C-alpha cells in the first residue's frame, strides 16, 4: 500500500516537472518576425540609426540610435524623461542592424539563466522577453536627464542590450553600440547614404574654400577629442557616463 502511494507521488512529481518544462518552453518560444519594412518604419528586433542635425555634419560617425520591438516599432531616448515610441526623432531611419533573439538570455527564474553571468544579470535587471527589456529600460530612462555627452540614446540602447544579456555579455555601452551599428549596419537605400554624408561633404568643401586646410585639421581635432571623451569616459571613468 505504501509502495503504491510512493509511486503515485512520484508520478505526480514527474507530471509537475513536465508541466513546468512545457510552460517554460512555451514562454520562450521565439515566433517568426515580420520582414523589415523601411516604408512603414518597421524594423523588428533591430538597432536603427539616423544622422543628427549639425553634430553629424561635423562628425558623420555620430548619430541618433534607437532599438525596435519585435513588431518593428522604434523606441528611442530623445529627451529628458522621455522615450519616443513609434516616432523616431531626427528623421527616418538611415541604417539598421537586425539582432538575433537566440543570443539573448530570457530567464524564467534565478536558476534558468542561459548566460554565464546569472547572478549579475539578475542584479542588473533581466527580461522575460525582448519587448519586456525595452519596456523596463523605458521606465528607467523616463526618470533620466538627457545629455549628449553623458546620458544619451546610446545609453538607452546599451541598457536594453544588458537587460537581454545580448551575446552573453553585460558590457554593452555607448562605444560598442556605436561600433555595432557602424560596422554591421545596413543602409536603407542610396538616399540614406546621401542624407548622411552630403552635409558633411558640403561643410568640408566650404571650410577648405574659406579657411584652407587648417579647417580640416581643426575638424579632425574636434572628432578626435569627441571620441577620446567617450572612450575615456566609458572605460576609464565608468561612473561618469553611467545613467
Confidence of residue 122 (pLDDT cuts 50, 70, 90): confident
pTM confidence score: 0.85
**Sequence-distant (≥ 6) Cβ neighbours of residue 138 within 8 angstroms:** 75, 83, 85, 156
* Cβ 113 vs Cβ 107: under 8 Å: yes
pLDDT at 110: 60
pLDDT value of position 15: 43
Q: How far apart are CA 114 and CA 181, in angstroms?
A: 25
Beta bridge partners of 74: 68
Domain range annotation of the chain: 38-194+224-240
Grid coordinates belonging to 53: 542635425
Min mean pLDDT across 24-38, 54-68, 91-105, 117-131 is at 24-38
Contacts of 224 (CB under 8 A, 6+ apart): none
| Mean pLDDT, residues 191-215 taken together | 95
Strand partners, 226: none
How large is the average pLDDT for residues 136-160? 94
Q: What is the pLDDT of residues 49-101, one digit of tens each?
A: 999 999 999 999 999 999 999 999 999 999 999 999 999 999 999 999 999 99
Q: How many CA atoms lie within 13 A of 191 on its CB side?
A: 4
Sequence-ordered list of residues with C-beta below 8 angstroms from that of 136, at least 6 positions apart, any chain: 125, 127, 163
Q: Could you tell me the pLDDT band of residue 8, with boundaries at 50, 70 and 90?
A: very low
- pLDDT at res. 120: 82
Q: What is the mean pLDDT of residues 13-26?
A: 39
Distance CA 86, CA 68 (A): 9
pLDDT at 111: 66
Contact between 84 and 76 (Cβ < 8 Å):
yes
Residue in this structure with the C-alpha cell 579657411, named with its chain if needed:
211
pLDDT in tens, 97-114: 999 999 999 887 666 777
**Facing residues of 63 across strands?**
51
The three cell numbers locating residue 240: 561618469
Per the DSSP assignment, residues forming a β-bridge with 96 are 48, 186
What is the helix (H) or strand (E) element at residue 91, kind and residue range? Answer: none
Could you read off the pLDDT of 178-202 as tens digits, one per residue?
999 999 999 999 999 999 999 999 9
In terms of residues, how long is the chain? 243
| pLDDT the model gives residue 13 | 40
Q: CA 120, CA 98: separation in Å to the nearest integer?
A: 26
Residue with C-alpha cell 549596419?
A: 185
Amino acid at each position: 500500500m505504501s509502495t503504491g502511494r510512493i509511486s503515485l507521488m512520484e508520478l505526480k512529481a514527474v507530471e509537475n516537472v513536465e508541466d513546468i518544462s512545457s510552460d517554460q518552453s512555451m514562454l520562450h518560444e521565439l515566433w517568426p518576425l515580420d520582414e523589415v519594412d523601411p516604408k512603414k518604419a518597421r524594423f523588428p528586433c533591430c538597432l536603427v540609426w539616423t544622422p543628427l542635425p549639425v553634430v553629424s555634419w561635423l562628425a558623420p560617425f555620430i548619430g541618433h540610435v534607437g532599438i525596435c520591438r519585435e513588431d518593428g516599432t522604434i523606441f528611442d531616448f530623445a529627451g529628458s524623461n522621455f522615450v519616443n515610441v513609434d516616432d523616431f526623432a531626427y528623421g527616418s531611419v538611415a541604417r539598421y542592424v537586425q539582432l538575433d533573439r537566440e543570443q539573448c538570455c530570457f530567464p524564467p527564474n534565478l536558476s534558468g539563466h542561459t548566460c554565464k553571468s546569472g547572478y549579475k544579470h539578475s542584479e542588473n535587471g533581466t527580461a522575460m522577453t525582448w519587448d519586456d527589456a525595452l519596456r523596463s529600460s523605458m521606465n528607467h530612462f523616463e526618470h533620466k536627464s538627457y545629455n549628449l555627452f553623458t546620458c544619451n540614446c546610446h545609453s538607452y540602447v546599451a541598457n536594453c542590450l544588458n537587460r537581454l544579456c545580448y551575446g552573453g555579455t553585460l558590457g554593452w555601452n555607448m562605444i560598442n553600440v556605436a561600433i555595432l551599428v557602424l560596422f554591421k549596419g545596413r543602409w536603407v537605400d542610396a538616399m540614406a547614404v546621401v542624407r548622411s554624408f552630403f552635409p558633411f561633404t558640403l561643410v568640408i568643401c566650404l571650410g577648405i574654400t574659406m579657411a584652407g586646410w587648417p579647417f580640416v585639421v581643426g575638424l579632425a581635432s574636434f572628432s578626435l577629442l569627441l571620441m577620446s571623451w567617450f572612450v575615456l569616459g566609458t572605460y576609464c571613468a565608468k561612473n561618469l557616463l553611467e545613467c
